[in-house]
Every structure is written in C-alpha cells, then in structure tokens.
Chain A
Amino acid sequence: NAGVTQTPKFQVLKTGQSMTLQCAQDMNHNSMYWYRQDPGMGLRLIYYSASEGTTDKGEVPNGYNVSRLNKREFSLRLESAAPSQTSVYFCASSPLPRALGGRGYEQYFGPGTRLTVT
C-alpha cells in the first residue's frame, strides 16, 4: 500500500499561472481533504470531499477549486496563483468522519507539496 500520494513534491509558479495538485489514496477511504500549512498557523482546511461525488468548502477556499475524480483521486486547482498561496499543501484521507455520520477515524496524510508563487 502506498497510502496517500501527492504530486508534485515541489513547484514554483509565477503570479497568474495555474496548476493542479494531484492526490490519490489506495485505502478505499470515503473522505478526502486538502489543507494548507503556513508557519504558525497550523493546518487549515481548503476543501474536502466527504464521499465520492461531493465536495465542500473548508475554512480557506478562496482562489482554489477541487475535483473528486473518483473514490481514489482528489485534485486541487489554482486558477491564477498569487504570492499569498505560497504554502505547503497536504492531502489527507479517512473513512467517513463521525461528525458526518461515520465512526470518527483518523486521517492519513500525504507527503505534501511545497509551492512557491513569485
């Protein structure tokens, strides 16, 4: 099992460019998440997908879009990158959380993508 994989590991963009971060999991999990991590801010939820076919906004969704392509894959798109989007991005997956009707299982994180926007 590879767990949660993310590509790319590193990326440098110029302001205004677009890109898609890819995430895949092989644990047959229902729920997937995208977080950004900035120094001193913890992990902030951008978007999540409770189950295949659904997506919802998290705490900081502005400037991002997501696609739950199938049960395994959840991508994050930056349409027009801005310097404020410089961050480390983590994808995670879990079985359905308790608060959403599941049993409250832990999240498994991918290795992260370090994105710099100049």
Chain B
Amino acid sequence: QQPVQSPQAVILREGEDAVINCSSSKALYSVHWYRQKHGEAPVFLMILLKGGEQKGHDKISASFNEKKQQSSLYLTASQLSYSGTYFCGTEPGNTPLVFGKGTRLSVIA
C-alpha cells in the first residue's frame, strides 16, 4: 500500500519552515525520506526505525509516530538548495520499501 504524502506541493521563501507529512494504513518497520532534484536520482535524507532509532541528515529532522503509522519531515530555515521533490518510503512488513508520490518543494528568494 502506497503511503500518502501531503501536501502535494509547497512554495516557500528562503528562511521559511515547512512540514511534509507521510501516512500509511499499515504498521511500519521504518520510514525513509529522500530528496530528488530535477533530472537526478533520489538521495537519502533520513531513516526512522521502529523503536526510536534514527539516522540521517544533520540539518533536517523528522518524527515517526509508530502507533499512527505517520511520519513528518521538518525543513527549517529553508535554503534555495532545499528545492526538489521529497519522497517518503515505508517498510510495511516483509516487503521492501514502498514510496509515496512525492511532495514538490520550491524555495524562492
């Protein structure tokens, strides 16, 4: 089951904050976050594991509510370089990662 991301798109000015949400209908082992710039491959940002372990980017934070099967990615003091499409990926059991449809983030000066 593909996780649902919201919003689908967001436009920010430099320095503003944004939150991207990801929810699943299934219990999750982990949630991943990736960023993809236009014409490039997705790049890993963060992984949040069941039980509280996290690993990832030191300037981006995320949360994982295991009971609600929800995760949020927090982008603070956005920079132009934050622009791109953000994907969450969920591991809903004995299957590999399933990605959401993405959230397009545009940061303008």
Contact = CB atoms under 8 A, between A and B. Distances in A.
With a 10 A CB-CB cut-off, give which of A35, A40, A98, A108 has the most chain B CB atoms.
A98
Interface residues of A, number: 27
B95 A99 contact: yes
Interface string A4-18: 000000000000000
B101 interface: yes
B12 interface: no
Contacts of B2: 42
Given A97-B96, A98-B91, A99-B29, A42 B44 contact: no
Contacts of A105: 47
Interface in A92-118: 97-100, 104-112
Interface stretch (A22-30, A43-51, A61-69, A75-83): A43-51
Interface of B: 2, 29-30, 32, 34, 40-44, 47, 49-50, 55-56, 87, 89, 91-102
Interface of A: 31, 33, 35, 40-45, 48, 50, 58-59, 90, 97-100, 104-112
27 contacts: A33-B96, A33-B97, A42-B87, A43-B87, A43-B99, A45-B96, A45-B98, A48-B96, A58-B96, A90-B42, A98-B49, A98-B50, A98-B91, A99-B29, A99-B91, A99-B96, A100-B96, A105-B47, A106-B32, A106-B56, A107-B32, A107-B44, A107-B89, A108-B44, A109-B41, A109-B42, A111-B40
